[in-house]
Amino acid sequence: MEPLTSLQIAGYVFLQFIPVWVGMLVIFALSIMTKNRTGLYGKLFDSPIGMVGFALVLFWVLTAIFADAIMTHAALETASGMKNKLPGTPLRGAAEDDFQWYLFGGDNLARDVFSRMVAGSRIVLIIAPAATLFAFMVGITLGLPAGYFGGRADTILSFLANLVLAFPVILLFYLLVTPEIRAAGAEIRIWGGNTWVTSIPNILAAILFLFPILFLLILFQSRFFTQPMLRNILVAGTLLVGAWMYSGLAFNADPLGLLGMDPNLLNIFVSVVFVNSPTVFRIVRGLALDIQTRDYVAAAQTRGEGPWYIMLWEILPNARGPLIVDFCLRIGYTTILLGTLGFFGLGLSPESPDWGSTINEGRKLLTLYPHPALIPALALMSMVLGLNLLADGLREQSLKD
Amino acid sequence: MGRFILRRTGVMILTALCLTFIVFFMTNLHPNLEKLAKTEGNMRMTDEQVESWLVNRGYTQNVFVKYGQWLGVMPSPRFEVGEDVYTRCSRPGVALEDTGRFCGVLQGNFGFSTVFKGEVSDIIAKRLSLTGWLMLFVLIVMVPMALIIGILAGMREGSRTDRSLSTFAIATTATPEYVSGVIFVVLFASSRTGLSPILYEWGWIEKKTMFKGLASTAANDITFANFTLPVMALALYGVGYIARMTRASMAEVMTAQYIRTARLKGVSFRNIVMKHALRNALIAPFTVIMLQIPWLLTGVVIVETLFNYKGFGWTLVQAAGNNDIELLLGVSVVAVLVVLVTQLISDIGYVFLNPRIRVS
């Protein structure tokens, strides 16, 4: 069989992405039709830059969702004779119902670059937003009281935040994401016959993963303590689900056996959350300092509302504009950080299809076979660009109010 | 002003102590020490042998005591291993009597690198000077480029120039060094893809590639061919951020009352920008540029690894990858100091440049 021409490659890639195109069309059509009723999200469709950004982000989100349908081969599958082959090379010895080509060529272990890129999007799009969300939970839970109450707690927390911020990120990763550090510590027997090592990443996980539960508990308690029935249901639900997820994620000892995190992944996740939360803390603290001088805060204080109610139900909703913008930017930054980790071969296993690791694998033969590194590099760039443009569009539209 | 600088310096020293202690603690975790014992002593040592190797060299002391010795505020104890007497100060070919009692960073003794077999301070000085050249060229390219983009964009907010330049700035912040580096190498430094084969065919360039994909030769001799790509990869990622800050600052200044007054008086737009707006608009970017230097540190590590330029960042990777504890500690001290000193300069510089700020 003949190798595909560039035009044919583009055509086949277009066909593979059909679920994504359909999804994008539907979402865009619905969003534009209802844009007058969806607030800030709807206004996004008035800004061309915001729309381009949203389209790029949506593309990668849908790619991650439909990854199984888009991938032409398995991410780890190797085929003989496909090592470093150029894009569009027909698959040698392909069975009847196999996809007949390597659309973006093969890498140095004869795996399909196209499928690995698609598989990588799934990893990146799960870790980056989740880590950013956790960082926001930590930053908000600590930043609001620091800004609102001030005083000694604020001084200590700010000093700690500055301490982490003064740490060169790359050095922190080299110290925090190593196999040795995962082994450093005593083994403790916990429930269900599981053991837990008191290593630094595990301890950090145990602390950082508490914050989302804490945040939700305070959120519900401060608002609904006057309605004990509703409050009890919400608090009990949070505690139940929280305890289950916490035991699975932080201790890798889910009693139901559903949730769990690979120690490598946990290490990366915790490091990224740890690096991001001080910045979020500073932003939230600054916003809390600014907003607490407003009249509606004074009105709430006069009404006799508790401090946590004011922080979480008066200040936080009014800080949402800058926070949403920063959330988008921060997912992009986290994606870059994850890529950096992969680039240095830290954390995830080397055969993982995430973009950073693939770039690291591909760069060794870069001048001879550029495609294995170039494809994930472009993928990463387009997604971060989409998030940055989206953030810019949101900022522009939210300032127009 | 004096008290402000004094207080900031005090906080800085406290931060430096905390950070170096954290690094010290994490590099001296037991599994790291075991690895060190096995690479320095013998790969096939039993657990007991490893333990006695560590005890003999004082690695099993309390971490605070070890930190004090490393810092040089506590005397380094002497250990007898067989017939040899060993202290932190001991070096091959130096009599023990010639060494001092305190052997820490404060005495200028950063230790001995196990990978490069040399004094940590010498290695760092040499590598740092190489990185200094890289940083110098990056700043020469990055700062004027960012300021020009920012000023042009912020001059007329919302214009077509502003929109396209802002989009360019956003695009650069979405391109980390390992992405732009890969793209640059593919475009300019590969004899099979990108522009080089086309230009070679046309006879415009003599060599097979426009630029070199490796900067290892730049350590001895910096040329246009071997240094352009690393410098561009580093500069590009930083440009966007500074440009956006400059733009915001410029746009804010352009809406100020005195600019409108000047305009109503009939001063030409060119003169307004050059004489009135620029000076005030450049205060904020100064801070950002200073704070960008620690940011460049991560980029330096990436670029030096990608282009195999054996500078400070490359040394960090080597030290961390080979468990060279003393070297990694030395590298961390320098990295932390760079961050803290640039923060201090940016704070003080901001106060100096902006007369409206009165420090309490």
Q: Are B72 and B108 in contact (CB under 8 A)?
A: no
Q: Work out the minimum CA distance from B219 to partner chain A, whole angstroms.
A: 21
Q: What's residue B360's pLDDT?
A: 45
Sign of CA dihedral B236, B240, B245, B247: positive
How many angstroms from the chain centroid is the CA of residue A148?
28
Contact A288, A311 (CB under 8 A): yes
Beta bridge partners, A112, equal A106
Residue A163's alpha-carbon distances to A138, A153, A273, B44, B179, in angstroms, are 16, 15, 15, 40, 29
Tokens of A212: 């989302």
Closest CA to A201 of A250, A260, A258: A250
Burial string for A272-299 (b: 16+ CB within 10 Å, else e) reads bbbbbbbbbbbbbbebbbebbeeeebee
* Neighboring chain B residues of A172 at a CB cutoff of 8 Å: none
Backbone torsions φ then ψ of A187, nearest 5 degrees: -85, 130
Measured between CA atoms, how close is B307 to chain A, in angstroms? 10
Question: What pLDDT score was predicted for residue B115?
Answer: 85
Within 10 angstroms of residue A317's Cβ, the number of other Cβ atoms is: 10
Contact status, residue B93 vs residue B58, Cβ threshold 8 Å: no
| Residue B45: C-alpha distances to residues A92, A310, B55, B151, B309 (Å) | 49, 62, 14, 64, 36
Query: What are A90's strand-pairing partners?
Result: A101
Sign of the alpha-carbon torsion through A159, A145, A331, A51 = negative
CA distance A203 to chain B (A): 14
In this prediction the pTM is 0.90
Phi, psi of B28 (to 5 degrees): -100, 20
In chain A, residues with a C-beta closer than 8 Å to the C-beta of B18 are: 163
CB contact under 8 Å between A359 and B182, yes or no, is: yes
Q: Is B10 exposed, middle or buried (0-12, 13-18, 19+ CB in 10 A)?
A: exposed
pLDDT tens profile A242-266: 998 888 888 887 777 777 778 888 8
B306 contacts in A (CB within 8 Å)?
363
Q: Does A160 reach chain B within 8 Å, measured CB to CB?
A: no
- CA dist B247 and B17 (Å) reads 37
B334 touches chain A (CB under 8 A): no
Contact B170 A392 (CB under 8 A): yes
Per-residue pLDDT of chain A (401 residues; tens, 9 = 90+): 778 888 888 888 898 899 999 999 999 999 999 888 888 888 888 888 899 999 999 999 999 999 988 888 888 888 777 788 888 788 777 777 777 788 888 888 888 889 999 999 999 999 999 999 999 999 999 999 999 998 899 999 999 998 988 888 888 898 888 878 887 777 888 777 778 888 888 899 999 999 999 999 999 999 898 899 999 999 999 999 999 888 888 888 777 777 777 888 888 999 999 999 999 999 999 999 999 899 999 999 999 998 999 999 999 999 988 899 999 999 999 999 999 999 988 877 778 888 989 998 888 888 788 888 999 999 999 999 999 999 989 988 887 76
Going B315 to B318 to B321 to B327, the CA torsion angle's sign is: negative
B179 and A169 in contact by Cβ < 8 A? Answer: no
**Beta carbons of A181 and B174 less than 8 Å apart:** no
Q: Out of B305, B328, B336, name the one closest to residue A166 (CB).
A: B336
Give me the pLDDT at residue A387, please.
95
Put simply, whether A338 touches B (Cβ < 8 Å) is no
Helices B283-306 and B224-254: angle between axes, nearest 10 degrees: 150
Q: How far is CA B106 from CA B20, B285, B316, in A?
A: 13, 35, 21
Q: Of A222, A1, A9, whose CA–CA distance to A105 is shortest?
A: A9
Q: Given an 8 Å threshold on Cβ–Cβ distance, is B29 in contact with A381?
A: no
Spatial distance between the Cα atoms of A76 and A93, rounded to a whole number of angstroms: 18
The structure tokens listed for B251 are 């746009």
Q: Which chain A positions have a beta carbon within 8 Å of B182's beta carbon? A: 359, 362-363, 366, 370, 373-374, 377
Write the residue in B22, B173, B332 that is nearest to A388 by C-beta.
B173
pLDDT per position in chain B (360 positions), as tens?
A: 788 888 888 888 999 999 999 999 988 888 888 888 888 777 788 888 888 888 877 788 888 888 988 888 888 777 776 667 777 776 766 666 666 778 788 887 888 888 888 888 999 999 999 999 999 999 999 999 999 999 999 888 888 999 999 999 999 999 999 999 999 988 888 877 777 778 877 877 777 777 887 877 777 788 888 888 999 999 999 898 899 889 988 988 888 898 899 889 988 888 888 888 888 888 878 877 887 787 788 889 999 999 999 999 999 999 988 888 889 999 999 998 888 888 888 887 777 776 665 544
Contact A385 B170 (CB under 8 A): yes
Residues of chain B in contact with residue A50, where contact means CB-CB under 8 angstroms, are none
Q: Is A184 on the interface with B (CB under 8 A)?
A: yes
- What is residue B274's predicted lDDT score, i.e. its pLDDT? 86
* Cα A84 to Cα A87: distance, rounded to the nearest angstrom: 9
Q: Which residues pair with B84 in a beta bridge?
A: B81
Cross-chain residue pair A171–B331, CB shorter than 8 Å: yes
Question: Any CB–CB contact under 8 A between B130 and chain A?
Answer: no
Amino acid making up residue B349? G
> Encoding tokens for residue A67?
């990854």
Please tell me if residue A372 touches chain B, with a CB cutoff of 8 Å: no
Measured distance CA(A205)–CA(B9) in Å, rounded: 33
| Residue B300 in tokens | 């330096």
List the one residue out of B147, B106, B173 whose CA is nearest residue B246. Answer: B147
Residue B78, sorted as left (phi over 0), alpha (psi -120 to 50) or beta, turns out to be beta
Angle among Cα A28, A32, A36 to the nearest 5 degrees reads 145
How far is B100 from chain A, CA to nearest CA, in Å? 31
A254-293 residues touching B, CB cutoff 8 A: none
The SS3 assignment for A359 reads helix
Contact criterion met (CB < 8 Å) for A381 and B335: no
Q: Are B180 and B232 in contact (CB under 8 A)?
A: yes
Give this complex's ipTM: 0.88
Q: Which residues of B197-236 are buried (b: 16+ CB within 10 A; e: fewer)?
A: eeebeeeebeeebbbbbbbeebbeebeebbbbbbbbbbbb
Residue of B nearest to A376 (CA): B179
- Closest Cβ–Cβ partner in A174, A381, A384 for B320: A174
